[in-house]
């Protein structure tokens, strides 16, 4: 991890860049407790900024390959007082030939710097396009102040009360939620409300084991939160275990696995200091949330990639051996043996209907973070789906999902998408998880995630060729049949017959008959009963998500709009309410708003295809 100072058109902009790795291996975890006592500054062990003299020789410790901690010579250039309000910085230059070749390296953040044999601080910053390996050093006294504020188990609620800026007063729109999350850098509302998404901290580097085309897919999701995906490498778990120590010590590689297991995604940096079981690292913040709860692991460096813009380490995470408990401007603080909250996740992929022989199952665990959990889960899904190849031009994705939420029955849904890549799957999964983790009602614990995805090389899109009613005029109690002909892609026409009975109490008049596919049917529901997708507390949030996620796309829908009667208060339907009481409850002086209750009759048929359009007809009800 490295804090980079960009120079452009004569202006310097402070930019945080982090290395993250995405690879295939399984990580065990350990547990432990956290201490909130910060160590006193030992003058025999630590050198103060006031004692640092320009021109003095220095050195840092970091890993260039494997797990070997090496010494790299430096020279002190200067001390910059008040580089930030109340904070000083030391400026050093690398004199080692490897540093001169690479320039500043992302992944070196946290590398301990020693002057006169005493720890002065951590490498934390540099300049892109720098001809010399010049680094900024965060003083150790600032880093040792980093620690959890309270003795309670850390959560994000206090430090990050509003993560995405969702409007919970409006009906749920999962596609819009996903768009808000993944395009936050161009959304001024999100920028002002969420410092993590604002882009003020600049860009970070996301090194993955996935091919370049997959990095291109996930780039629009991570760039809004400052992560730039770059294809990198991976490590086999057995190779890692037998060749790497898991001890965290000054100069060792430290990682924060946002995903661990068969698919791993981890932030990479360097350990600065270890005091008892407390680990100080990075020399700058990761998210800057304050008290956090993220997994902490060792790491292995495969190589350093020299780059004219900024060099970086390719590294992978090791076993989880603790938890990061504090994240502040001067660095992070973790506790060895602490057990972070993780969400188990299973992804089963079947490609082209080849059966169990070709199916693959990925077992993962996700760190808990309101921003990165939805994004990393989306990346894992896409990576698993395209691991055996990209989707063909004509494709269909069938999927099932189960989201286990503590205190509620699991949220289960299954659906089908055709010709839209993984957009609809991503909208439903990411939108649901984002709503749950960012709701304003109560803290939600997601216990587990399970996804089953089948990819088929076919197009199941259809449109309505014709609709005929058996009667254009009918009486109450009479049955009417709608004959619907669908024209499917590269297929013969198919006919579906839907029968509906005119309700006995239907007043005379002309009524609309809507025959539609899932997209137009959802629009109909949003217009006639928006309360079904509106939330007021945690139970209604779960109910609204269920109502939305159970709209099947492989159905043909028929509705007949009837006269409204009764009222709806929040989600409570009072259809048989006497008119006088309805008038009283609908009084504008009442704070709890009510809506007229719209009625309709509905029929549906399973087609196996996705109907993309609609037809509207009129029917006259006679006395």
pLDDT band at 263 (very low <50, low <70, confident <90, very high): confident
**Residue 32 above 50 pLDDT?**
no
Structure tokens at 187: 């959304």
The per-residue pLDDT for range 340-381, each reduced to its tens digit, is 999 999 999 999 876 656 789 999 999 999 888 998 899 889
pLDDT score, position 281 = 95
Contact 612, 463 (CB under 8 A): yes
> Are residues 270 and 253 in contact, defined by beta-carbon separation less than 8 angstroms?
yes
pLDDT at res. 272: 97
**What CA–CA distance (Å, rounded) separates 95 from 276?**
32
Q: What is the pLDDT of residues 50-89, one digit of tens each?
A: 999 999 999 999 999 988 999 999 999 999 999 888 889 9
pLDDT reading at 199 higher than 90: no
Instruction: Report residue 300's pLDDT band, with 50, 70 and 90 as the boundaries.
Output: confident
More confident residue, 27 or 173: 173
Q: How crowded is residue 587: how many other Cβ atoms within 10 Å of its Cβ?
A: 8
Of the pLDDT bands very low, low, confident and very high (cuts 50, 70, 90), residue 15 is: very low
For residue range 407-463, what is the model confidence (pLDDT) as tens digits? 999 999 999 999 988 889 999 999 999 999 999 999 999 999 999 999 999 999 999
> Distance between CA atoms of 424 and 355, rounded to whole angstroms?
24
Q: Which tokens belong to 621?
A: 């009800």
DSSP, residue by residue, 512-574? EEEEE-HHHHHHHHHHH-GGGG--SSHHHHHHHHHHHHT--SSEEEEEEEE---SEEETTEEE
Q: Give the mean pLDDT of the chain.
A: 83
What pLDDT, on the 0 to 100 scale, is given for residue 40? 60
Mean pLDDT of 321-336: 94
C-beta separation of 320 from 296 below 8 A? yes
Enclosing H/E stretch for 230: strand 227-231
> Phi, psi (5° rounding) for residue 245?
-85, 155
User: Does 94 score more than 90 pLDDT?
Assistant: yes
Residue 193 has pLDDT above 60, yes or no: no
CA distance 569 to 567: 7
Q: 130: pLDDT confidence band, cut at 50, 70 and 90?
A: confident
Exposure string of 148-164, with b = 16+ CB inside 10 Å and e = fewer, is beeeeebebeeebeebb
E strands, 443-508, are: 446-456, 461-469, 473-474, 479-488, 494-501
Read off the pLDDT of residues 133-162 as tens digits, 9 standing for 90 and up: 899 999 999 999 998 865 555 554 333 433
Of 376, 426, 373, 370, nearest in space to 397 by CA: 426
Handedness of CA 544, 377, 328, 9 (dihedral sign): negative
Tokens at 88, concatenated: 């000083």
Token pair recorded at residue 113: 């710097």
Higher-pLDDT residue of 44, 572: 44
* Report field, pTM of the whole predicted structure over 0.95: no
* Whole-number pLDDT of residue 235: 46
Q: How confident is the model at residue 588 (pLDDT cuts 50, 70, 90)?
A: low
Distance of alpha carbon 614 from alpha carbon 465, whole angstroms = 10
| Higher pLDDT, residue 525 or 166 | 525
Task: In whole angstroms, give the CA distance from residue 22 to residue 229.
Answer: 10
Encoding tokens for residue 55? Answer: 């021109």
- What sign results for the dihedral spanned by CA atoms 20, 211, 311, 318? positive
Residue 46 DSSP class: B
pLDDT of residue 185: 40
Residue 481: pLDDT band by 50, 70, 90 thresholds?
Answer: very high
Say whether 69 sits in a helix, a strand or coil. Answer: strand
The predicted model gives 32-47 an average pLDDT of 64
| pLDDT at position 353 | 74
- Whether pLDDT at 194 is above 80: no
CB-based contact 259:22 (threshold 8 Å): yes
* Neighbouring residues of 379: CB distance < 8 A, sequence distance ≥ 6: 22, 218, 221, 222, 259, 265
Backbone angles phi, psi at 471, to 5 degrees: -140, 135
């Amino acid at each position: 991890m490295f804090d980079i100072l960009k120079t452009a058109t004569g202006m310097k902009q402070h930019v945080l860049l982090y290395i993250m790795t995405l690879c295939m291996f399984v990580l065990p975890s350990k547990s432990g407790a956290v201490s909130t006592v910060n160590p006193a500054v030992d003058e025999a062990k630590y050198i103060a900024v006031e004692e640092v003299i320009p021109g003095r020789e220095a050195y840092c410790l970091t890993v260039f390959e494997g797990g070997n901690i090496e010494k790299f010579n430096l020279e002190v250039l200067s001390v910059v007082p008040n580089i930030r309000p109340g904070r000083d910085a030391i400026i050093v230059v690398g004199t080692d030939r490897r540093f001169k070749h690479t320039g500043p390296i992302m992944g070196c953040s946290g590398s301990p710097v020693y002057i006169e044999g005493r720890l002065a601080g951590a490498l934390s910053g540099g300049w892109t396009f720098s001809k010399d390996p010049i680094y900024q050093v965060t003083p150790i006294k600032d880093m040792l102040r980093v620690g959890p504020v309270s003795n309670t188990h850390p959560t994000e609620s206090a430090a990050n009360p509003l993560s995405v800026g969702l409007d919970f007063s409006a009906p749920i729109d999962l596609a819009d939620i996903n768009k808000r999350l993944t395009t936050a850098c161009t959304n001024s509302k999100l920028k002002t409300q969420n410092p993590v998404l604002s882009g003020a901290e600049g860009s970070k580097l996301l090194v993955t084991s996935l091919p370049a085309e997959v990095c291109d897919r996930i780039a629009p999701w991570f760039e809004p939160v400052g992560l730039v995906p770059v294809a990198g490498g991976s490590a086999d778990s057995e190779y890692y275990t037998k060749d790497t120590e898991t001890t965290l010590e000054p100069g060792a590689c430290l990682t924060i696995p946002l995903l661990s297991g068969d698919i791993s995604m981890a932030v990479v940096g360097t350990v600065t200091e270890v005091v008892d079981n407390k680990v100080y690292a990075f020399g700058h913040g990761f998210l800057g949330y304050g008290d956090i709860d993220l997994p902490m692991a060792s790491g292995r460096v495969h190589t350093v990639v020299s780059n004219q813009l900024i060099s970086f380490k390719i590294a992978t995470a090791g076993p989880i051996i603790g938890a990061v408990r504090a994240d502040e401007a001067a660095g992070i603080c973790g506790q060895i043996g602490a057990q972070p909250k993780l969400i188990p996740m299973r992804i089963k992929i079947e490609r082209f209907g080849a059966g169990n022989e070709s199916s693959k199952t990925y077992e993962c665990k996700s760190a808990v973070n309101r921003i990165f959990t939805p994004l990393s889960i989306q990346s894992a899904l896409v990576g698993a789906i395209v691991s055996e190849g990209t989707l063909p031009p004509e494709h269909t994705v069938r999927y099932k999902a189960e989201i286990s939420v503590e205190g509620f029955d699991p949220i289960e849904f299954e659906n089908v998408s055709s010709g839209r890549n993984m957009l609809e799957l991503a909208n439903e999964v990411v939108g649901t998880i984002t709503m749950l983790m960012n709701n304003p009602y109560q803290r939600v614990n997601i216990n587990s995630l399970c996804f089953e995805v089948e990819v088929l090389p076919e197009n199941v899109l259809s449109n309505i060729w014709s609709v005929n009613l058996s009667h254009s005029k009918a009486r109450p109690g009479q049955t009417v049949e709608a004959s619907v002909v669908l024209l499917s892609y590269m297929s013969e026409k198919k006919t579906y017959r839907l029968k509906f009975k005119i309700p006995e109490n239907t007043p005379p008049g002309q009524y609309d008959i809507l025959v539609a596919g899932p997209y137009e049917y959802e629009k109909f529901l949003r217009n006639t009963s928006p309360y079904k997708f509106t939330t007021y507390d945690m139970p209604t949030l779960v109910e609204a998500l269920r109502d939305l996620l159970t709209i099947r796309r492989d159905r043909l829908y028929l509705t007949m709009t009837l006269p409204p009667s009764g009222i709806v208060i929040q989600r409570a339907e009072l259809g048989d309410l006497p008119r006088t009481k309805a008038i009283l409850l609908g009084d504008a002086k009442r704070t709890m708003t009510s809506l007229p209750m719209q009625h309709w009759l509905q029929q549906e048929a399973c087609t196996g295809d996705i109907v993309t359009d609609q037809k509207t007809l009129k029917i006259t009800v006679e006395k």
